[in-house]
């Protein structure tokens, strides 16, 4: 399932190994506590599904959908909540699970949103950290990979809703 317009950045095996490693770290940190993992849709759904299967602790899952891109490949900087969580996060140990953090604007908005609801704890897990694109400093508690400031697709991430199903993560060379 190789696409000539995509240069592989992270293989399926590299991703799998990192998810196992992060899962062990999270399970160790939350031992004896119940965790609420909040997947940020749509990109983080595959990562979240793989991640929670690695947790040998009590974990609930909920979903939140936000938008700052639309169909563009560049963030507009305006964050809009499309779907909020269904579970009351008050008093819960919340882990926000992202596929990628680049500018930090969306995550900063989400953290402010969650803090106002008084969770017992609030942490962030991301598979990819595009730190060169950061315009707002945000805390990242669990990080998979630092990546270059390139547009990536695969493993849940898309370009105009395409490429989410790729088992690897690649750099999109030519926008089609």
pLDDT tens track for 9-63: 999 999 999 999 999 999 999 999 999 999 999 999 999 999 999 999 999 999 9
Beta-strand relationship, 35-41 and 80-83: unpaired
Question: Which pLDDT score, from 0 to 100, does residue 1 have?
Answer: 60
The per-residue DSSP string of 131-163 comes to GGG-SS----SEEEEE--SS-EEBTTB-BTTBS
pLDDT of residue 145 exceeding 90: yes
- Is this model's pTM higher than 0.85 or not? yes
Annotated catalytic residues are 102
65-105 confidence digits (pLDDT tens): 998 755 545 555 678 899 999 999 999 999 999 999 999 99
Length of the chain (residues):
176
6-172 classified as CATH 3.40.50.300? no
């Amino acid at each position: 399932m190789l696409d000539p317009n995509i240069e592989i950045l992270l293989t399926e095996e590299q991703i799998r190994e990192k998810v196992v490693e992060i899962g062990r770290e999270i399970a160790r940190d939350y031992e004896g506590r119940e965790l609420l993992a909040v997947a940020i849709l749509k990109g983080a759904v595959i990562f979240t599904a793989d991640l929670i299967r690695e947790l040998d602790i009590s974990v609930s899952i909920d979903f939140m959908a936000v938008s700052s891109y639309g169909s563009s490949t560049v963030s507009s900087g305006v964050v809009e909540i499309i779907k909020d969580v269904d579970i009351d996060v008050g008093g819960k140990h919340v882990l926000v699970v992202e596929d990628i953090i680049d500018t930090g604007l969306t995550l900063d908005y989400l953290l402010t949103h969650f803090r106002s609801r008084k969770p017992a704890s609030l942490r962030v897990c991301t598979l990819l950290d595009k730190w060169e694109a950061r315009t707002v400093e945000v805390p990242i508690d669990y990080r998979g990979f630092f990546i270059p400031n390139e547009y990536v697709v695969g493993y849940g991430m898309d370009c105009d809703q395409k490429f989410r199903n790729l088992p690897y993560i690649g750099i999109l060379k030519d926008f089609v």
